[in-house]
Amino acid sequence: MVRPNIVSPCIKVCAVDGETSLCLGCGRTLKEIGGWTQFDDAGRDAVMDLLPERLDKLRALGKLEDSR
């Protein structure tokens, strides 16, 4: 059985910030990253909806460069 492609926010910059526990590349937590392929579409969509705010938080904390 062929599995459909799963949309992922991963940009191959995998480094988790110790203060926020968020990936500096995509904004997910380790638990979210590890379970990504097990989440259903709604679960992945719910996490994806949170990512812009999380990445903004990381930028505000000076953890990311402002790429906007």
CA distance 14 to 30: 10
Domain map (residue ranges) of the chain: 10-62
Task: Write out the DSSP string of the chain.
Answer: -PPPPPP----S---B-TTT--BTTT---HHHHHHGGGS-HHHHHHHHHHHHHHHHHHHHTTSS----
Per-residue model confidence (pLDDT) at position 66: 73
Mean pLDDT over the full length of the chain? 93
User: What digits encode the pLDDT tens for the residues 13-44?
Assistant: 999 999 999 999 999 999 999 999 999 999 99
Position 68 pLDDT exceeds 60: no
Q: How far is CA 21 from the centre of its chain?
A: 11
CA distance 49 to 47: 5
Per-residue model confidence (pLDDT) at position 1: 67
